[in-house]
Amino acid sequence: MLNRAISTPIAIIIILILVILVGGFTWLQYGEMWRETTELPEVELPDKGDFEEPEETTLEPKNCNYLIEGKNITLEDGYSELEIVPGSASKIITQYFGNEGFGDFNGDGLSDTAFILTQNQGGSGTFYYMVVALGDSKGCEGTNAVFLGDRVAPQTTKVEGSKIFANYAQRKLSEPIVTPPSIAISKQLMVKGSELVDVTPEWAKKEQSCLISGGSIGTSLCCKSTGDFPNSCLIGACGCSPDSSHQVKICDCGEGKCFDGEKCAILE
């Protein structure tokens, strides 16, 4: 009886040891199989030199060359000073003014900057121009300058797509220079190739010319072949029958004057 009582616990312990050994062996085998099936292949990373870094450009509009009235003007920190004639005390002074607008105006994928600069040619006038600094691999390529006016009052520079809107105020032609500018002007510009061009619609140019020369904007029935702001100094543009006419914008220059298509003039 005593031998049987002792052998039973020993048998249980032996069985537990066997279970642990078999289980451990099985777990080791499974773990080895899992590592073999889930081990990721080594990936060779490309050398950093295999990638082509994008070209970086630094656009410096204040240190760029611009074409103004047929002369090459190079700004240095936004300033240029040239002798009008060799040895002359009078200088052509060109300066960065501001009112910047940003965009890709020539479609080359690089950032460009439109802005206003001023030029004084030795007299009392201060002439305002719009230019564009085009970004390129060398840093900057300046366009030609588009004239805005003498002693105008710049307001804002707006950008819509590739089009630049230079908004400023100008005084009437009959007003003295001390009179604050009050006529709102919006000039539309675009870069074509590397040239800055005025693309303001003709009707807008005529409307602005009418106001600057002292006229006012009105409407009238004119011949159907006639567009806005016809030449009222000529007979016939608005002389058709009502059935053959349509309403257009006109420039009313007042008594004794007419609009010649560019300005108010004395009616002869």
Q: Is the pLDDT of residue 268 over 50?
A: yes
> Can you give the pLDDT at residue 13?
66
CB under 8 A, 24+ apart: contacts of 202-211: 203/227, 203/228, 203/229, 203/249, 206/251, 206/261, 206/262, 207/249, 207/251, 208/183, 209/262, 209/263, 210/251, 210/253, 210/259, 210/263, 210/264, 211/172, 211/183
105-133 pLDDT tens trace: 999 999 999 999 999 987 778 999 999 99
How much of the chain, in percent, has pLDDT values that exceed 90?
65
For the chain, state the CA radius of gyration.
40
Domain boundaries, the chain: 65-200, 208-266
Residue 90 burial (CB count, 10 A):
12
Q: How far apart are CA 77 and CA 196, in angstroms?
A: 22
> Can you give the pLDDT at residue 49?
47
211-253 pLDDT tens trace: 999 999 999 999 999 999 999 999 888 989 999 999 999 999 9
Q: How far apart are CA 36 and CA 48, in angstroms?
A: 32
- What is the identity of the amino acid at 94? T
Q: Is the pLDDT of residue 177 over 80?
A: yes
The pTM of this model reads: 0.74
pLDDT band at 160 (very low <50, low <70, confident <90, very high): very high
